[in-house]
Structure 1
Amino acid sequence: MHDHVNSYIEVIDQTKEALDEAINTHIYDAQSGEVPPADCSFLKLRNKVALTADLARRLGAFTHLEMEAALCIWEWINDVTLSDTDQKIDVWATYREGVGSMELRSASSNIYAGWLLKVYDICQTAGEPFDCMSYDWDVVPLIMEHCLHDGHPAASGDTLPDPRATAITVLAKIAKQRWYEDARKAAKHHWSYEELVDDFEEVIEKARLDGEMPEKVILEIGEQYDLDSPDPISAAARPPMFLMFKPSDYLLPEQA
């Protein structure tokens, strides 16, 4: 627990002790068995202070990164459980209906935040996989989509997926997304036909898994089917396009 949190809790505890002494010594005689009534304002204040100390202890157990992750996770949970758009994930919506919002909100910090950060840290060992990605809008949803046990949201720490296995899955998904992003860009650049990627889905996916570079694959397909280039110079003779990502960004985790 951080020093500033400990100091805060210490002050609260001292306040509670002072209130106890005031209630038992100066207001009601504890030795005579006199008990303060439930509506005693000092007693109410004392109990509020005690609850504050307990809350501070529980909050102090989390780092600022865990709290940030928990807030982003709760935001994502709301997006996938309360929305009527394509963001909605049925298994999470059903789970929320079953356990309730309070339980799920608590799980954001008590169960999911620490796990998500473990996955995040493992992914980071692969370089900068989350470069140009928003933490709350992209990274957290990408990881949380895999927080499942037997097809259902993990309900406890014991049912959380293995962080390393999850990280490998996340990295593979990012690599695929980046490869296809540059493939579409190449198709538009060389042939003015971005949908080429969809028309030859199986061929292109096989090429990706074989480790081919997206621009090379797109050029070969266009030339094979004699597509028209928007430039008088043949597509093959044109200088390479600027790619968003490095070749290493396309690699699957086991290839890196």
Structure 2
Amino acid sequence: MSTYVITKVPSTGKWHVSHQQSGWIAPVGGPYAKRKEAITVARLLAGRQGKGRDPMTDRESYSHLHVEAALCLWEAMCEANQRGWERDPENERRKKRLKPLTGNAAAFYETWRNVGAVAMRHMAIYLADDMLKTWDSMTEAEQEELFPYDWEFAPAFLAIIQWDRWGTPVLPNTPREMAKAVLAFQRKAM
């Protein structure tokens, strides 16, 4: 079982989150100005965001397609994070000719900065089910508009998701609604 520990650094007054397992402790997030922010991130990472069981961490087995979907989504997430980093005004090595991100892309980048790569990797696993259901709700002709799956569909799926700053994704209510939103996004980008 994983344990996440929050600690306050006396010299800065900032909070940090560490992943603790027997024999080692690894820092995973921070600094956070408020204790509540650090607790929220630690709970998300530990899979205890709310009461009861957490569907993000309770699953014990995954199909080959689920793993592939999670990997394709993780690849799209890494690319999106890199685009944000290249435009981040706080990044000294940013590409100055590029404008900062806006909309869902900016919210995604802020979420990544707030919760870190570990939480986002778990989110890719969690969102893979929604991604597969969205793909399956499309007709064959619609799927052909989004080939290849890893370079067209996964980034378009990610672009539709709305994020709060602590990593909670907001998707349309049904896979078919998500499919329509993904197709609209893809068609607009072309």
TM-score (norm 2): 0.51
Distance in structure 1 (CA, Å) of the matches to 2:109 and 2:158:
14
User: Cα distance, 1:174 vs. partner?
Assistant: 4.5
Equivalent position amino acid for 1:99 in 2 = V
Matched positions, count? 117
User: Cα distance, 1:160 vs. partner?
Assistant: 3.5
CA RMSD, 1 decimal: 3.3
The aligned counterpart of 1:170 is 182
The aligned counterpart of 1:97 is 113
Distance in structure 1 (CA, Å) of the matches to 2:137 and 2:165:
23
User: Cα distance, 1:153 vs. partner?
Assistant: 8.4
User: Cα distance, 1:98 vs. partner?
Assistant: 0.6
The aligned counterpart of 1:141 is 155
Higher relative contact order (CA 8 A, sep 6+): 2
Distance in structure 2 (CA, Å) of the matches to 1:160 and 1:122:
15
Task: Verify: 1:114 aligned to 2:125, yes or no.
Answer: no
Equivalent position amino acid for 1:119 in 2 = T
The aligned counterpart of 2:144 is 131
Distance in structure 1 (CA, Å) of the matches to 2:166 and 2:134:
16
Distance in structure 1 (CA, Å) of the matches to 2:187 and 2:129:
24
Q: Unpaired runs of 5+ in structure 2?
A: 1-21, 23-57, 88-97
Question: How big is each residue's C-alpha offset from its partner over 1:180-230, in whole Å with a ceiling of 9 and x where there is no partner?
Answer: x7xxxxxxxxxxxxxxxxxxxxxxxxxxxxxxxxxxxxxxxxxxxxxxxxx
Q: Is the 8 A contact 2:66 2:129 kept in 1?
A: yes
From the two aligned structures, give the one with the greater strand fraction: 2
User: Cα distance, 1:121 vs. partner?
Assistant: 0.7
Distance in structure 2 (CA, Å) of the matches to 1:77 and 1:176:
20
Distance in structure 2 (CA, Å) of the matches to 1:128 and 1:82:
31
Q: Is the 8 A contact 2:171 2:178 kept in 1?
A: no
Equivalent position amino acid for 2:184 in 1 = A
1:138 match: secondary structure: helix
Question: How big is each residue's C-alpha offset from its partner over 1:123-142, in whole Å with a ceiling of 9 and x where there is no partner?
Answer: 2xx33223262111111111
From the two aligned structures, give the one with the greater helix fraction: 1
Runs (4+) off by over 3 Å: 85-88, 151-154, 172-177
Question: How big is each residue's C-alpha offset from its partner over 1:226-246, in whole Å with a ceiling of 9 and x where there is no partner?
Answer: xxxxxxxxxxxxxxxxxxxxx
Q: Is the 8 A contact 1:119 1:167 kept in 2?
A: yes
Q: Unpaired runs of 5+ in structure 1?
A: 1-37, 39-57, 182-256
Distance in structure 2 (CA, Å) of the matches to 1:112 and 1:170:
15
The structure number with the bigger radius of gyration is: 1
Distance in structure 1 (CA, Å) of the matches to 2:106 and 2:188:
25
Query: Does the C-alpha gap of structure 1 residues 117 and 153 become closer, same or farther in structure 2, counting only changes over 3 Å?
Result: farther
User: Cα distance, 1:108 vs. partner?
Assistant: 0.7
Distance in structure 1 (CA, Å) of the matches to 2:180 and 2:167:
18
Q: After superposition, where does 1:20-39 map in structure 2 within 5 Å? A: none
Query: Does the C-alpha gap of structure 1 residues 152 and 145 become closer, same or farther in structure 2, counting only changes over 3 Å?
Result: farther
User: Cα distance, 1:152 vs. partner?
Assistant: 6.5
What percentage of aligned pairs have identical amino acids? 25
